[in-house]
């Protein structure tokens, strides 16, 4: 690793001021589990490292007016074990619980993971299905961006050099909504997935018809993906095996995976269809249980 | 560029000057001479470099030493009594054949120690979930699970098989 100038801001304001001063030359480090590997491999050579480990705040979990707020510096482990998250958004708590290993989850943060923007990660998939937004803050002010328009390419986001991702927010799902996140792990349980899928399904309790649906996929494109065509297939319909197959086929069309050790591009595309079907069915069954 | 850091390792305070890019594992092994902690994969996957920082398991190969400034660390060297008497987890790894070649063992016993402090009565599934990030290339997993169950029973004052 190369040497760097090192700063440890203790407040959000100090961190933002440092970012404003150093801009592109600086890298922010939260848990460091992704950045340190990139620095060791010399893929990233920051002149200035701004470590957020002494920063107070930005690690809260709150529910305000039907919205869940996660401070960006919350660790994966804290998210996974948060009583509020387990009660209000169990699918998200479970997604965090199945990221990598406990050693990584003890330090990796929910905001840091999004800013890292590796399309193989699990949380962005569930967060997309939950209609999450991220708050991006600089000395000039703050803006909220839907997670859907946050990722732009492999390891690329709309974050400007002077911006810090400070919070993730998402609505608590409406009644009669089921949700699921499943991933295909043919190698080991702590590996990145061959494909990961999250789905939410909201049903009309009287008719069992799907009123709304969100489907998202990971590991099958340069960013985590939403599958609007597949969602369109499902909205207004009742659950049938044909519908699930049709939705899977529609989602598959939108994927653009690369071949690697976790499967060939063709195989990943085929598995994307299968796992969309399974995630959708699981979410649907969960929603049905709430209507009876 | 260097930085002076003060850290407590196994109850003993150390002040060292380290290059800013020094990794915690290198600081432990080369600056402090604590070579019990091993480096395996260097990317946070294998668990050989597991240490406890403020009670939490971390990968010392992914942690900059400067982040340990002011922290309390426990390594495999801190598990036994000062007179050399092994900790119940260490003894169980011997009694139940939980280690073979020994490379993964420092990380295994450190992780298992943290598990039993957090959960004195782990189920087999709890053990598998907690220890998932510690790899044994001799594939001695069944005996490692038996060792942890044995240590847990011993710590609870129960009769052990």
- Domains in chain A, start-ordered, CATH in brackets? 5-51 (3.30.43.10), 61-171 (3.30.465.10), 177-291 (3.30.390.50)
Q: How far apart are CA A201 and CA A130, in angstroms?
A: 10
Chain B: residue nearest A35 by CA?
B62
Interface of A with B (CB under 8 A): 1-6, 32-33, 36-37, 39-40, 49, 51, 53, 100-104, 106-107, 189-190
Chain A neighbors of B64, CB-CB under 8 A = 32, 36, 51
Contact check, Cβ <8 Å, B20/A37: no
Instruction: State how far the Cα of A222 lies from the Cα of B156, in Å rounded to an integer.
Output: 51
Q: Within 10 Å of residue A187's Cβ, how many Cβ atoms?
A: 12
Q: One digit per residue, pLDDT tens: chain B, 161 residues?
A: 899 999 999 999 999 999 999 999 999 999 999 999 999 999 999 999 999 999 999 999 999 999 999 999 999 999 999 999 999 999 999 999 998 899 999 999 999 999 999 999 999 999 999 999 999 999 899 999 999 999 999 999 998 77
Two tokens, residue A139: 């000395």
CA distance A101 to chain B (A): 5
Measured between alpha carbons, how far is A82 from A104 in angstroms, rounded to an integer?
Answer: 17
Q: Give a three-class secondary structure readout of chain A.
A: CCCCEEECCCCHHHHHHHHHHHHHHEEEECCCCCHHHHHHCCCCCCCEEEECCCCCCCCCEEEECCEEEEECCCEHHHHHHCHHHHHHCHHHHHHHHCCCCHHHHCCCEHHHHHHHCCCCCCHHHHHHHCCCEEEEEECCEEEEEEHHHCEEECCEECCCCCCEEEEEEEECCCCCEEEEEEEECCCCCCCCCCEEEEEEEEECCCCCCEEEEEEEEECCCCCCEECHHHHHHHCCCCCCHHHHHHHHHHHHHCCCCCCECCECHHHHHHHHHHHHHHHHHHHHHHHHHHHC
| Cβ–Cβ below 8 Å for B21 and A4 | yes
Q: How far is A46 from chain B (nearest CA, A)?
A: 11
| Distance (Å, whole) CA A274 – CA A276 | 6
The residues, ordered by sequence, that sit 6+ positions from A111 with a Cβ below 8 Å of its Cβ are: A30, A58, A70, A71, A72, A73, A74, A134, A165, A166, A167, A168
Instruction: Say whether B1 and A107 touch across the interface (CB within 8 A).
Output: no
SS3 at position B3: strand
pLDDT digits (tens, 9 = 90+) for B88-103: 999 999 999 998 899 9
Q: Please tell me which residue of chain B has the smallest CA distance to A191.
A: B45
Instruction: Per-residue pLDDT tens, chain A, 292 aa: give them.
Output: 899 999 999 999 999 999 999 989 999 999 999 999 999 999 999 999 999 999 999 999 999 999 999 999 999 999 999 999 999 999 999 999 999 999 999 999 999 999 999 999 999 999 999 999 999 999 999 999 999 999 999 999 999 999 999 999 999 999 999 999 999 999 888 899 999 999 999 999 999 999 999 999 999 999 999 999 999 999 999 999 999 999 999 999 999 999 999 999 999 999 999 999 999 999 999 999 987 6
Q: Tell me how close the Cα of A176 comes to any Cα of chain B, in angstroms.
A: 32
With beta carbons under 8 A apart, name residues in chain B contacting A190: 45, 132-133
Going by C-alpha positions, the residue among B61, B51, B135 that lies closest to residue A40 is: B61
Q: Are the beta carbons of A104 and B20 separated by less than 8 Å? A: no
pTM: 0.96
User: What domains does chain B contain, in order, with CATH numbers?
Assistant: 2-78 (3.10.20.30), 88-155 (1.10.150.120)
What's the token pair of residue A256? 């653009």
Residues A1, B21: C-beta atoms closer than 8 Å: yes
- Measured CA to CA, the distance from residue A68 to residue A132 in angstroms comes to 9
Largest CA distance in chain A: 64
Structure tokens at B90: 């260490």
* Å between B157 CA and nearest CA of chain A: 28
Query: What ipTM was predicted for this assembly?
Result: 0.95
**C-beta atoms of A104 and B44 within 8 A:** yes
Integer-rounded Cα Rg, in Å, for chain A is 19
Q: Which residues pair with A144 in a beta bridge?
A: A135
């Amino acid at each position: 690793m190369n040497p760097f100038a090192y700063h440890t801001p203790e407040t959000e304001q100090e961190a933002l001021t440092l970012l404003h001063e150093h801009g592109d030359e600086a890298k922010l480090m939260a848990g460091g589990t992704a950045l340190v590997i990139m620095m060791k491999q010399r893929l990233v050579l920051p002149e200035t490292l701004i470590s957020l480990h002494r920063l107070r705040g930005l690690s809260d979990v709150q529910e305000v007016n039907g919205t869940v707020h996660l401070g960006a510096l919350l660790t994966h482990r804290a998210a996974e074990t948060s009583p509020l998250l387990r009660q209000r958004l169990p699918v998200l708590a479970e997604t965090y619980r199945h990221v990598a290993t406990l050693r990584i989850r003890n330090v990796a943060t929910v905001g840091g993971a999004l800013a890292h923007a590796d399309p193989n990660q699990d949380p962005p998939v569930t967060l997309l299905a939950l209609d999450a937004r991220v708050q991006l803050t600089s000395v000039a002010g703050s803006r909220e961006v839907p997670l859907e328009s946050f990722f732009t390419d492999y390891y690329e986001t709309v974050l400007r050099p002077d911006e810090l991702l400070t919070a993730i927010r998402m609505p608590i799902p409406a009644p009669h909504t089921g949700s699921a996140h499943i991933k295909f792990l043919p190698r080991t349980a702590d590996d990145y997935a061959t494909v990961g899928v999250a789905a939410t399904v909201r049903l009309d309790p009287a008719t069992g018809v799907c009123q709304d649906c969100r489907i998202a996929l990971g590991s099958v494109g340069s960013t985590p993906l939403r599958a609007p065509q597949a969602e369109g297939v499902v909205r207004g319909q009742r659950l049938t095996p044909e519908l699930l197959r049709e939705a899977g086929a529609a989602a598959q069309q939108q994927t653009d995976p690369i071949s690697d050790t976790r499967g060939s591009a063709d195989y990943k595309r085929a598995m994307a269809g299968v796992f969309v079907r399974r995630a959708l069915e699981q979410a649907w069954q969960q929603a049905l249980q709430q209507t009876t | 560029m260097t930085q002076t850091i003060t850290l407590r390792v196994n109850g003993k305070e150390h002040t060292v000057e380290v290059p800013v890019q020094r990794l915690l594992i290198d600081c432990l092994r080369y600056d402090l001479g604590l070579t019990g902690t091993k480096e395996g994969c260097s990317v946070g996957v294998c668990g050989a470099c597991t240490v406890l920082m403020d009670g939490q398991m971390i990968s010392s190969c992914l942690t900059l030493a400067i982040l340990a400034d002011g922290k309390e660390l426990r390594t495999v060297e801190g598990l036994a009594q000062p007179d050399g008497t092994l900790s119940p987890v260490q003894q169980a790894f011997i009694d139940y054949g939980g280690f073979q070649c020994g490379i993964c063992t420092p990380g295994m016993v450190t992780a298992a120690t943290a598990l039993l402090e957090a959960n004195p009565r782990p189920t087999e599934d709890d053990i598998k979930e907690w220890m998932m990030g510690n790899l044994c290339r001799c594939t001695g997993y069944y005996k490692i699970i038996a060792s942890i169950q044995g240590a847990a029973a011993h710590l609870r004052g129960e009769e052990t098989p």
